[in-house]
Every structure is written in structure tokens, then in C-alpha cells.
Structure 1
Amino acid sequence: MFYYVSKIAWFFTTPSNLLLSLILLGLVLSLFKRLRRFGIGLSLVFTMTTIALGLLPVASYLLLPLEERFPPFQDDGRPVDGIILLGGAVEASDSKTRGQIVANESAERVLDTIQLAHRYPAARILISGGGGAVFADGAAEAPIIADYFKSIAIDPARLLVEHRSRTTAENAVYSQELAKPQAGERWLLVTSAWHMPRAVGVFETVGFPVTPYPVDFRTAGGSRTHRPFAFISEGLRRLDIGTKEWAGLIAYYASGRTTRLFPGPQVSAGGSASR
């Protein structure tokens, strides 16, 4: 039930959808004589709001603390037993229709996993991602990525394919069941930097320690964070992503799916952050 409620609620509250709905509401109200001025004013206000949110770096300010919550992975020489790739980088239905892998703007998740597979040839590779359709089963993403990995000569014996999960919380639950991690093993978690806090939080909750390997950054950091966007659509897209992720953190914490509101690096007894 949580899955369906969250997906439907998010459709209507996504900033870009909500802003467009309010503009259209104003236009509809302007058709009524008594509400004409109010409707026109409403449309103008939210049209200007849409333009401002699309061009100004508001989305960057939302995404930056998410993306900088975990530092980039540094190879310290410790062996890597496994690599977890979270879904979200491949359009499963389009891939099945086209007969070849169709990646989206999060393709770095797949690309960096391939790089890690070559860097750590003994590591198992767990691909987690099922169908994400609300009113249908949908095509599962993990088997498509697994087939692609096999086609580029990654040993099929290394692959673990988790194809049931529809949410980040389910990613963690089903990955833990499939991998059965042993004490002392090191598993790298590959997902978008802006998604890493929530992902780490749910893996912690199910008792699956992971080492974050953030990729797919949407902010440049430093002074470039303050730069406006060149296209309204670009700013709105990133605003949608940032808003959804912060809402997800709150919802997961409130529902007990994570034990920390804003998961970050754990601090060891010696005072250093563990990764």
C-alpha cells in the first residue's frame, strides 16, 4: 500500500506537475466572469514562479547537501567482495521494445559498475531492480542489465539478479536475502550521489553494511552551484529530483524504513568516519 500511495501522491505533488496544474487552474477560473481577475492573476503568478524555479539554482541548493553527504570512494587496498548496482539507470520497457539496452540520465550507475567489475575481478555483482509500474507489473530492469553485462564478457557466474524490488527499501530487503553477506565482507553500493543517503539508510536498517560509491552527480559544487540554468526544463527536472529525494527521506524515516532522518557516514570509536 505504501508503494501505491507514494507513487500516486508524488505524481500530483511533483513540482513541475503541480506548477502546471496551478497555471491551468488559473486559466480555467478565468473563464468565469466573477473569477476572471483572480484566475488570470493565479496563472501569471505561477507562470513566473515556474520560470524562476526553472532558471534560478534552487534545485542545485536542494541537491548539493544530498550529493555531498558521502565523500567519493577512495580505494584503500581492502578487498571488495561484492558490488551492488541499484536500478534506475535503464528504461526497461523501452529496452525490451528496442531489443537493446536503453539508458537514461543515470547511466553512470551502469558505467561505473562495469569499471568496478574490471577493477575487482573477484567481486560478485548484485543488480537490484524490478518493475516500477503502478498499475501493472512492468518490465524488470535487473535482468536487462544482467544480459548486457554478459554481452560485454562479464562472467555470468559473478552476477546476482534481484528483480522483485520496486522501491529503495525493497532493494535493500531483497538484496540482503540474495547476497547473504557474511561478517567482514565489503560490498560497494553504486547509486546516484543524490540518492545515496536514503539508500545507505535502508541498507543499514536491514543489517547489510555497505560502502557508498556515489556516482551520477547533478551539481558541480563550489561556486558553480550558484549558476543559473540555461533551460527552464533542466532546472525543473532537477527540482523534481531534489524534492522527491528529500520527501523520500522524510517518508522513510517516518515509516521506520530508516533509523536516521539524514543518513551519513558512520563515525567509528576512534573518531573517523567509516565508509
Structure 2
Amino acid sequence: MFFILSKIVWFVFSPVNFVILVAGLSVLLAFTRFARPARWIALFSLAALGLMAFSPLPRAVIRPLEDRFPQQDARKGPVTGIVVLGGAVGIARGDIVLNSSAVRMTKAVELARLHPEAKIVFTGGAANLITEAKETEADGAKLLFEALGLDPARLILEDQSRNTRENAVFSRRLVDPKPGERWLLVTSAWHMPRSIGVFRMAGFDVEAFPVDYWSSGEVDDFIRPYSRAPRALEVADNGFKEWVGLLAYRLAGYTDALFPAP
């Protein structure tokens, strides 16, 4: 139920979707006796869209998430296993498809080569709400990892999870981590606080290995506007989603802290 509800609620209240829906409402109201309020609603929508598309706001929203867990030295060992969260890979027309978070996958391969003794756990099923997917993210990960030369015997694929909490719970059941083992968690830096929170609650002791940074880490993150609206809107949407996700997961009892820390 949580998965279905989260999909529906976020479709409506995703900042970009919400502004577009509100703008559509203003158009409808413009042909009624509420034409005057409609103009103010349209103005609000345009201002909100412009703020997300061209101002430094998206970087300001996502920067604290990315700063929460520091980067690690990739060569530091030993490493028992590397857990890679889905959200970056899939299959379309029988071939591998990567999105803007593809560095999750490439970093996993880099770490696998630096630590040849480590297992590689990929966790990601199909998060479709309406249609039934023929392939899962794990299927895409298997194709990619094997194409890049990783030994299939090192791969552990979890293909049932639909969200971050299920990533943690199902991965723990699959690998049954032992005390003293060292497991790295690879996901986007902006997604790491919520990920660490749910892995802790699931009883899976992992170390954060953040990748896929969307802010530069420099002071100008808070003053430098975007020049391309599509990229800015993507960053804004993901940043706001994570803050809302942190609150929702805390209220649902999936994490034990509102903003998990190292």
C-alpha cells in the first residue's frame, strides 16, 4: 500500500507536475467567473516554474543531501561486498539503457575491479505502477556487468524490490551479512541519507559510498543559476522528492532519524 500511495501522491505533488497541474487549473478557471483569481494562479505557476528552472534553488535543495555523507577512498579495503541500488539501469528493445544516474553502475564496476574478492549485489526490480514490466532493473544490471567483464559468479541479483526500503530488506535477506563484514552501499549522493536510514533499520550494516553528485560542492552552488531548464527541473524534482521521502519514511517508521547522519 505504501508503494502505491507514494507513486500516486508524488505524481500529483512532484514540484514540476504540481506547477503544471496548477497552471492547467488556471486556464480552466479563466473561462469562468473566477478569471481574476485564475490570473494570479497562472502568475504563481509561472514564477514557481521559473524559480526551479533558472535559479540556484535546485542546487540549494540538493546540496545538503549530497554533503551529508563524505566521499570515501575507493582503494580502502578489505571489502566483503558492494551493494548497488537500482534507479540507473534498465532494458529497452533488448538492449541496456542507462539514465542520468549511470555512474552508480560504472562506479560499482570500478570498485569490483579494485576489490576482486568482493561480491557485487544489485538490488532493483520493476517499479511500474500500471503496466507489468517484462524485464527488471536487475536484468539490465546483469547484462551491463557481464558486458563490462565482471565474473557472473560474483553477482548477486535482487529483482523483487520496488523502492528503497525493499532494497534494504530484500538485500539483507539475500546476503545474510555477518558481524565484522564490510559492505559498501553505492547510490547517488542525494539519495544516500534515506538509503542509509532504511538499511540501518533493516539491520544491514553498510558504509556509505556516495556517487553521482549533482552539485559541485563549491560556494557558488548557492548563487549560480542554471542555463538549461530541463536539467534544473530534474535536479529540483529529485531534491524535493528526497526531502519528502525522508519525512515520509520517518513517519512510516522505515528510518529511526529524520535526516540520517554518518
Sort the Cα spacing of 1:108 and 1:52 in 2 relative to 1 into closer, same or farther, 3 A: same
Letter of the 1:59 counterpart: P
Please report how far the alpha carbon of residue 76 of structure 1 lies from its aligned counterpart in structure 2 after TM superposition: 7.0
Q: Which residue of 1 aligns with 2:84?
A: 85
SS of the residue corresponding to residue 252 of structure 1 reads helix
| DSSP-derived class of the 1:237 partner | helix
CA distance in 2 between counterparts of 1:38 and 1:190 reads 48
Deviation at 1:23, TM superposition (A): 1.1
User: Is 1:105 aligned to residue 100 of structure 2?
Assistant: yes
Q: Secondary structure at the match of 2:130?
A: coil
Aligned to 1:173: 169
Q: Deviations over 1:116-167 (max 9, x none)?
A: 1100001000010000101234231012211221122211110000000000
The residue type paired with residue 130 of structure 1 is G
Aligned pairs for 1:12-91 (under 5 A) are 12-32=12-32, 34-75=33-74, 77-90=76-89
Q: Which residue of 1 aligns with 2:184?
A: 188
Q: Aligned ranges for residues 124-273 of structure 1 at < 5 Å?
A: 124-138=119-133, 139-225=135-221, 226-265=223-262
Per-residue CA distance 1:178-199 (angstroms, 9 max, x = gap):
1111110001100000000010
In the alignment, residue 233 of structure 2 is paired with which amino acid? L
Task: Give the secondary-structure state (helix, strand or coil) at the position aligned to 1:160.
Answer: strand
Shift of 1:47: 1.1
Task: Measure, in 1, the Cα distance between the counterparts of 2:249 and 2:193.
Answer: 11
Please state whether the residue corresponding to 1:101 is helix, strand or coil.
strand
TM-score (structure 2 length as normaliser): 0.96
Following superposition, the deviation at residue 57 of structure 1 comes to: 1.0
Aligned residue type for 1:154: L
Could you tell me which residue of structure 2 aligns to residue 271 of structure 1?
none
User: Amino acid of the residue matched to residue 149 of structure 1?
Assistant: F
Instruction: Tell me, yes or no, if the aligned pair for 2:126 and 2:137 is still in contact at 8 Å.
Output: yes
* Deviation beyond 4 Å, 4+ runs, structure 1: none
Report SS of the residue matched to 1:21.
helix
1:187-241 CA deviation, whole Å, 9 max, x = no partner?
1100000000010111101111111110000101222302001022222211110
1:75: how far off? 4.8
Q: Is the 8 A contact 2:77 2:115 kept in 1?
A: no
Query: Percentage identity across aligned positions?
Result: 41
2-structure distance, mates of 1:151, 1:203:
29
Which one-letter code corresponds to 1:217 in the other structure?
A: Y
Alignment gaps of 5+ in structure 2: none
1:119 paired residue among 99, 109, 114: 114
Task: Give the partner amino acid of 2:21.
Answer: S
RMSD: 1.3
User: How many pairs were matched up?
Assistant: 260
Helix, strand or coil at the partner of 2:193: helix
- Is 1:5 the counterpart of 2:5? The answer is yes
Instruction: Give the distance between the partners of 1:48 and 1:201, measured in 2 at CA.
Output: 35
The separation in 2 between residues aligned to 1:78 and 1:21, in whole angstroms, is: 50
Distance in 1 (CA, whole Å) between partners of 2:65 and 2:255 is 16
Taking the aligned partners of 1:126 and 1:103, their CA distance within structure 2 comes to: 18
- Cα displacement string for residues 37-61 of structure 1 (whole angstroms, at most 9, x for unaligned residues): 2212321231122112211111111
